[in-house]
């Protein structure tokens, strides 16, 4: 693992144009979904991020042939050589989306042994709804030394999720596409990457209807072909760059995005006084004056995404007035605000509610990236702050953003990677 920190020289406006990368969360679902195919699949527009690197290691450890060309954003996956149903615990723990290997391997081979998933620490993140769906389809489930073992010949079933879950919706969909008979899933999540994963599966011959609504119907098929598929742009990277543009009172145009996926964020930015315009696959964000405080409440799509709550609350630390941010999806998603207090931010956190009193200025400080989106929030804080901010543990950011600092630097930021050096004895340290 790299031992580096990000060093940001703050106070520069972001200006210019850049392109959005392929979606992280959609890629992390479509790559395991390719294991369901009977022929090789070519996936285009994949982001070059650490979570994709981990997934490639997982697929290769199963025996799949994977040719990945990050510079071409393209990957060819041949599932025909898979010999194992076991995802090693250490690899499962490296990311949340390792849970998709359960649905994909169970759906394709009738059994899977996968370690409990890792990912960002946002409070309790159970996967009971995934397992409930597998059970309904006829799988048995047991725990074997930290590995979840699922087995069974799957048959279509009716599944009503007890809560709206993105991962659960996709995972059960993966398991059901090759099950015998019809599956009806209700109270499903509607995020864009659920639609994208269903579109990919349909492209290779699955029969899924209703993805993007709360009811998904699947007619199980016994064979799936192969195909070439281009994943959608990253909704959260788009939003992070929009927020960064506003935070620096800049003027940025983003290409290759899907403006309809950004409506909840766009509405809030407009409410704050940020200028946002869009046409076709282009979004422009401009801010001249200060911005106003708002109330914000995270919700499932098409509501305000929890993944953008952290970057957005960083922006709110400099709004005029006091903002209220309610985090409805995860129980612990404000650690970035604790870090930002070191930079002069004023925030009172009470469980899932944060009250953020805008301050005229932030000052630089050494801070610790608590998780992926919290890390992005701190990058935005560093861009706004006076002085030189150091962000430790930036590996969290590289898990899900494609070369974020390069993209921001091309827009006028000053962010560099520096080795982490222990100032006491000069040794490189891990933080
Ligand atoms: C996915 C995204 C993540 C995003 C989140 C919400 C991926 C890889 N990750 O995470 O970036 O922040 O959606 O948009 O796509 N829950 C249960 N039982 C379950 C499943 C979920 O109680 O079986 C709870 C969770 O603890 C959480 C809520 O439901 O409080 C939503 O979780 P879910 O939508 O499943 O999020 P993830 O799939 O973990």
Higher pLDDT, 181 or 429: 181
Atom nearest to 305 CA in ligand 1: 14
d(CA 77, CA 39): 9
Q: Assign domain 24-230 one CATH number from 3.65.10.10, 3.20.190.10, 3.40.50.11740, 3.40.190.10.
A: 3.65.10.10
pLDDT tens, 215-251?
Answer: 999 999 999 999 999 999 999 999 999 999 999 999 9
Dihedral (C-alpha) 177, 180, 182, 184: value to the nearest 10 degrees? -60
pLDDT tens, 378-416?
Answer: 999 999 999 999 999 999 999 999 999 999 999 999 999
Of residues 177, 180, 198, the one with CA closest to residue 189 = 198
Ligand 1 proximity of 125 Cβ (cutoff 6 Å): yes
CATH number 3.20.20.100 is the correct assignment for the domain at 4-21+233-419: no
Which sequence positions are flagged as catalytic? 120
Using the mean position of ligand 1's atoms as its centre, give its distance from the Cα of residue 17 in Å: 32
Question: Angle at Cα 362 formed by Cα 356 and Cα 363, nearest 5°?
Answer: 140
* pLDDT for 2 beyond 70: no
pLDDT tens, 47-88?
Answer: 999 999 999 999 999 999 999 999 999 999 999 999 999 999
Using the mean position of ligand 1's atoms as its centre, give its distance from the Cα of residue 306 in Å: 10
pLDDT confidence of 428, banded at 50, 70, 90? very low
Of residues 285, 314, 317, the one with CA closest to residue 411 = 285
In whole angstroms, how far apart are CA 111 and each of 151, 153, 154, 386, 403?
4, 9, 10, 55, 36
Token digits of residue 364: 């630089």
Contacts of residue 41, Cβ cutoff 8 Å, sequence gap at least 6: 34, 76, 77, 204, 226, 227, 228, 229
pLDDT tens, 292-310?
Answer: 999 999 999 999 999 999 9
pLDDT confidence of 96, banded at 50, 70, 90? confident
Using the mean position of ligand 1's atoms as its centre, give its distance from the Cα of residue 139 in Å: 22
Ligand 1 proximity of 115 Cβ (cutoff 6 Å): no
Give domain limits for the chain. 4-21+233-419, 24-230
Dihedral (C-alpha) 3, 9, 13, 17: value to the nearest 10 degrees? -30
* Contact in structure between 272 and 260 (CB atoms under 8 Å): no
Same fold, 4-21+233-419 and 24-230: yes
The CA-based diameter of the chain, rounded to the nearest angstrom, is 65
């Amino acid at each position: 693992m790299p031992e580096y920190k990000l060093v940001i020289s703050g106070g520069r406006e972001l200006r210019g144009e850049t392109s959005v990368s392929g979606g992280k969360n959609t890629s992390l679902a479509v790559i395991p979904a390719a294991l369901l195919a009977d022929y090789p699949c070519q996936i285009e527009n994949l982001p070059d991020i650490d979570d994709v690197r981990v997934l490639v290691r997982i697929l290769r450890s199963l025996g799949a042939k994977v040719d990945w060309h990050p510079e071409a954003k393209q990957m060819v996956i041949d599932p025909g050589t898979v010999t194992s149903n076991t995802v090693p615990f250490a690899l499962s723990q490296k990311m949340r989306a390792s849970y998709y290997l359960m649905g994909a391997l169970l759906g394709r081979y009738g059994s899977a042994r996968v370690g409990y998933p890792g990912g960002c620490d946002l409070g309790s993140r159970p996967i009971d709804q995934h397992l409930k769906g597998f059970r309904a389809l006829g799988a048995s489930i047991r725990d074997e030394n930290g590995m979840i073992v699922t087995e069974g010949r799957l048959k279509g079933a009716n599944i009503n999720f007890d809560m709206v879950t993105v991962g659960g919706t996709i995972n059960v969909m993966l398991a059901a596409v090759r099950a015998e008979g019809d599956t009806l899933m209700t109270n499903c999540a509607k995020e864009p990457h659920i639609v994208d994963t269903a579109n990919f599966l349909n492209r290779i011959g699955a029969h899924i209807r209703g993805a993007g609504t709360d009811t998904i119907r699947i007619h199980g098929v016994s064979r799936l072909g192969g195909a070439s598929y281009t994943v959608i742009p990253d909704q959260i990277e788009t939003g992070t760059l929009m927020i960064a543009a506003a935070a620096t009172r800049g003027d940025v145009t983003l290409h290759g995005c899907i403006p309809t996926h950004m409506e909840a964020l766009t509405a809030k930015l407009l409410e704050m006084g940020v200028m946002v315009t869009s046409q076709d696959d282009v979004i422009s964000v401009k801010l001249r004056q200060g911005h106003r405080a708002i109330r914000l409440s995270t919700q499932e799509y098409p509501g305000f995404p929890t993944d953008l709550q952290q970057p957005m609350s960083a922006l709110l630390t400099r709004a005029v007035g006091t903002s209220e941010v309610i985090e409805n999806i995860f129980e612990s998603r404000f650690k970035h605000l604790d870090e930002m207090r070191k930079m002069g931010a004023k925030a009172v956190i009470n469980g899932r509610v944060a009250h953020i009193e805008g301050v005229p200025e932030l000052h630089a400080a050494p801070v610790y990236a608590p998780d992926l989106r919290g890390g992005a929030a701190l990058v935005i804080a560093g861009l706004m702050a006076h002085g030189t901010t150091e962000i430790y543990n930036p590996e969290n950011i590289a898990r899900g953003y494609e070369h974020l600092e390069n993209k921001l630097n091309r827009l006028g930021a000053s962010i560099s990677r520096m080795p982490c050096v222990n100032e006491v004895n000069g040794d490189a340290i891990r933080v």
